[in-house]
Structure 1
Amino acid sequence: MTRARTALAVAGAVLLAGGCTVANSGSAAGADTLQIVLPEEPPTLEPCDASLTATGRVVRSNITEPLAEREPETGKLEPKLATGWRQTSPTTWRFTLREGVTFHDGTAFDAKDAAFSVSRTLDSGIECNVDGYVFGDSEVTAKAADGSTLEVTTGKPDPILPLRLSFVEMVPTGTDTGSRVREPVGTGPYRIDTWNQGINLRLARYAGYWGKAPDYAAALYTWRAEGSVRAAMISSGEADIAVGLAPADGAGDHAVEYPNNETSYLRMDAGKPPLDDLRVRRAVNYAIDRKGLVASVFAGLGKPAGQLVPDGVTGYDPDIRAWPHSMKRARALIGEARADGVPVDTKITIIGRNGIYPKAAEAMEAVQHGLREAGLNVEVKMLDVNAWTEYLLRPFPEDAGPTLLQAQHGNQAGDAAFTMEQIYGSKGAQSSYGTPGLDRRIARAERAAGRDRQERFAEALAHQGEEVVRDAVLAHMKGIIALAPRVSYQPNPASGDEMRLAAVHPAD
């Protein structure tokens, strides 16, 4: 597997007397440039990895576009580069493509590009995150029926294929199929202008865009790991939008809270001792004080959770509650496992990710404290996004011992299919463990439609939480975004993973 291993370099902040000035922040960018500060630099702008937060919030609907787009506020699938679609057989869908669309290099977008984009995402060998996250092991074939008609065939009936394809960003046929591209060519309202690695990324408005032109002529992204620095950049006028903030970062009246659709959790290496023992995995869950974690570390920006999908997603089961905090039960389970010869003293490493959410390291230290108190040998290793991704996606590092991976999952698509197979399936791209019984339940749910789909996914989630216990789900999260007075933007549940620049306007 070839992975982009671009070094993540973060330019330092320079604090000057009388205010906060951040080196190379682009503060002189001009009134027609929207300035956004992010917690981390994207490791790549590869469109087929746009389901990853760091990449998606820059790429999706800004540089590249899909055939259809789910509106976060309504959950409805709306036309984008396709004007409509219909199912012509149980396994075949036809998409009518929008005419008059061009890529940033001036070439026309047509059905050959659409078919190529689907094939590149699913069959090129790049091992795109979208492939595992959205499609799993689905068999999908795309071909151009004519210049403006795309025909997509699946190996088995798929009632939500148009929704799945909304995660496939369109690229021209000349795009590299052997490796990830750093600076893609798309059809979006913005094109890549300059990328100064470790400093900033500038997007320029694309004059040939098929839709309504966005208000800002350019967008300038910078990255600062410290939330307090990002908040200070808003206060000092050096940035217009800052994301991934915590209450303690000091954004003040500039801060806006919103439900961000993210669920924080710990993925367990359930195939490695001592985590291969169900009692130990249950003990991990009992040992974590979720209410305390939300109240203190998350400063109330969340709600203790027991399942990986939030309310509003097909499959969400309101009867699944967060695990209660019981150190007595945790210690008893560890004691039982120890008595049966389970090597509970084996070192378990929490693999954390800097910047995944505010106070990420503090959250893992709190978890570590609880697990040690329960009788487990736990260490914390915090990594930047590139190194952390090696543990997120298959194939995982072979020399790692048993790990708990700090992760966060946002189901923007609104269907548990985009959670279950990739995260819990035996062969899922982000799955460290699965069972035949859970695989069967996931497969049955994916074939279902309507109310039956809801019930089957709820059953699969309940089975995972009660019998498999592959995770320690922590909380359904809220986010904080800071806005400068000169801009107007209404955050939505998808804002943590994608930020549509066209939705940002100058304030009245």
Structure 2
Amino acid sequence: MSFKSKVLLASLFAALSAASLMASAQTIRIANQGDALSLDPHSLNESLQLSVDSNVYETLVGRNKDLSLAPLLATSWKQTSPNVWRFELRKGVQFHDGTPFTADDVVFSFVRAKGEGSDLRATLSDIKEVRKVGDLAVEIETAGPFPILPDVISLTMIMSKKWCEENKATMPVDRRKGIENTASFKANGTGPFRVRERQPNVRTVFTRNGTYWGKIEGNAQEIIFTPIANPSTRVAALLSGEIDVMEPVPVQDIARINATASARVIAGAELRTIFLGMDQKRDELLYSSVKGKNPFKDKRVRQAFYQAIDINGIKRTVMRDASRPTALLVGPGINGWNAEQDKRLPFDVDAAKKLLADAGYPQGFEVSLNCPNDRYVNDGQICQSVAANLARIGVKINLVTETKGTYFPKILRRDTSFYLLGWTPTTYDSHNALSSLTACPDDKGTGQFNLGAYCNPKLDALTKQIQSESDKAKRNALIKEAFAMHADDVGHLPLHQQSLAWGVSKKVELTQLADNFMFFKWMSIKP
């Protein structure tokens, strides 16, 4: 370790030690490789931000520990007609500032989440209207039958209409433009924890909500959330006792942590799929040596890239076997996943070279690959391996890695030719991946995360059928057909589902969910 690194590590430990001296025995200190980019629950559809914000804000319908649906701000819901759902709202709930929660807040929040600047528009694009039918009841009308609506809205968090109006935060800010409003750094939810202090990229302090309407199972009174980008520093902080929970654990350090007396690694399968996307819309790529045309519009080029990637090599050397190679944009645990379809095209360098030559690029070409280096497990190293693999077929990758704070605004502006992304369907259903990642993008939010603008109208028609079909067998058959069509197009390049690995002090008890959400209300610490 360099002298500079040692000084930085010592400074971090000193800061953490100072915080721990002031903390009670019921303070839990959490470190992550990155920070939530905003406290606004509608500004970015990114799981770390949603995970952090969901401790402060709540949804109408939430999740139990087994990821089944659970009543939160709605106590019950039912379908009153094919296109209408009625939600009965919970009595006696207050926002953190003491304002009563009512149907007005629900109507306001859905309008806000569907509006300009919201990153949740894609999931809500088929909601026609949310209307108040009493102080504690709302109806949600959809454009057509939508049997999984309660699942779809399970991450649409409810904000205070009064607070947003008073703080000039009636619309979420667009992360693509890098602007902020009051809701970016202050919060006023109904959830079990309040935000006491917010220092972006330094630390955020949460305190238990003493007026919370429900039961908080854990004993944590205070949560100190600290971003620590360097993996070695996170591990050292856990092993020294300066932090209590860290995520993710570098795969190479799992055995070392498990061998200690003070900490352990909680590991499990994650629902997230990591994949590569390509600009298939522009007539000329923004960042490529090819001029006057777009090589990614040719299926042979896309397939050449796919077959040039040694996914088992990445699993073995980069992920240390903590990944599951996949051929689909969804994995086990997501409704509609089909094991028969989850078989990748073979890794075949010679076949990839021939495909590239047949497409008119016998010598390959140059293109930039955009990657985060602090969002997914070993994301930067994955992209380095992909670049090395593609070099074998003559493709020179200009690798651009950066922190997620600048990475996501860039790719969400579609300022990219080739990119890495991870996706966990928020509904735990294949329809979410199809509507968000493969649908032709429109101005209503459909295909919002289809950043390369892959487009197949026949697949879109299938996605619409999947959305409205209530018969499970018929629905799964449609999902199978849709994924087969996407695979035949080589619309994206699926890589793998990564594994979860949380480093946890043996003094701490918590619940790990397969969607990688970390709920403070289920955390306890021993003195």
Q: Normalising by the residue count of structure 2, what TM-score does the alignment of the two structures yield? A: 0.87
Letter in 2 for 1:444: Q
Residues 193 and 207 in structure 2, CA contact (< 8 A), matched pair in contact too: yes
Partner Cα separation in structure 1 for residue 405 and residue 244 of structure 2: 27
Please say if residues 344 and 377 of structure 1, whose CA atoms lie closer than 8 Å, have aligned partners that are also in contact. no
SS in 2 for 1:444: helix
Equivalent residues in 2 for 1:293-308 (5 A)? 293-308=314-329
Match of residue 382, structure 1, among 401, 422, 426: 401
Alignment of 1:263 onto 2:273: yes
**What are the within-5 Å matches in structure 2 for residues 94-493 of structure 1?**
94-122=86-114, 124-126=115-117, 128-132=118-122, 134-135=123-124, 137-174=125-162, 175=164, 176-180=169-173, 181-182=183-184, 183-213=186-216, 214-249=218-253, 250-253=256-259, 254-272=264-282, 273-320=294-341, 321-338=343-360, 345-393=364-412, 395-397=413-415, 400=416, 403-427=417-441, 428-431=447-450, 432=452, 433-449=454-470, 450-466=472-488, 468-493=489-514
Instruction: Say whether the 8 Å CA contact 1:189–1:205 is kept in structure 2.
Output: yes
Output the aligned Cα RMSD: 2.1
User: What is the Cα deviation at residue 507 of structure 1?
Assistant: 4.5
CA distance in 2, matches of 1:72, 1:348: 43
Rounded to whole Å, the distance in 2 between the matches of 1:386 and 1:434 is: 28
Could you tell me how far apart the structure 2 residues matched to 1:344 and 1:423 are?
31
Alpha carbons of structure 1 residues 56 and 152: separation in structure 2 relative to 1, 3 Å:
same
Contact kept? 2:326, 2:344, Cα under 8 Å: yes
Report the residue type matching 1:58 in the other structure: V
Contact 1:315 1:456 in 2 (8 A): no
Letter of the 1:268 counterpart:
M
Quote the Cα distance in structure 1 between the aligned partners of 2:197 and 2:387: 42
Please say which of residues 279-288 and 205-214 is displaced more in the overlay.
Answer: 205-214
For residue 24 of structure 2, the aligned residue among 20, 30, 35 is 30
For residue 503 of structure 1, report the CA deviation from its aligned partner.
1.0
Indicate if the aligned counterparts of 1:36 and 1:220 stay in contact, CA closer than 8 A. yes
The offset of 1:30, in angstroms, is: 2.8
Q: What is the distance in 1 between the residues matched to 2:362 and 2:126?
A: 38
Structure 1 residue 413: deviation in Å? 2.1
Deviations 1:184-240 (A, max 9, x none): 210000111011233210011111100113411111000111122112111111111
Write the distance in 2 (CA, Å) between the matches of 1:70 and 1:12: 42
Q: Which residue of 2 aligns with 1:4?
A: none
CA contact (8 A) 1:82 1:97 kept: yes
Q: Is the 8 A contact 2:28 2:525 kept in 1?
A: no
Distance of 2:302 and 2:351 partners within structure 1 = 12
Query: 8 Å contact 1:21–1:236 — kept in the other structure?
Result: no
1:70 aligns to 2:67 (yes or no): no
For the Cα contact (< 8 Å) 1:63–1:192, is it kept in 2?
yes
Relative to its length, the structure with more helix (as a share) is: 2
Unpaired runs of at least 5, structure 1? 1-10
Contact 1:27 1:237 in 2 (8 A): no
Number of residue pairs the alignment of both structures matches: 479
Gaps of 5+ in 2: 174-182, 283-293, 442-446
Compute the displacement of 1:437 (Å): 1.8
Q: Distance in 1 between matches of 2:514 and 2:448?
A: 24
After TM superposition, give the deviation of residue 173 of structure 1 in Å. 0.7
Distance 1:404 1:344 in 2: 19
Q: Tell me the secondary structure at the aligned position of residue 202 of structure 1.
A: strand
* More displaced stretch, 164-173 vs 209-218: 209-218
Please tell me whether the aligned partners of residues 271 and 333 of structure 2 are also in contact (alpha carbons under 8 angstroms).
no
Q: Percent identity?
A: 24
Q: Normalising by structure 1, report the TM-score.
A: 0.90
Partner Cα distance (1:12, 1:504) in 2: 32
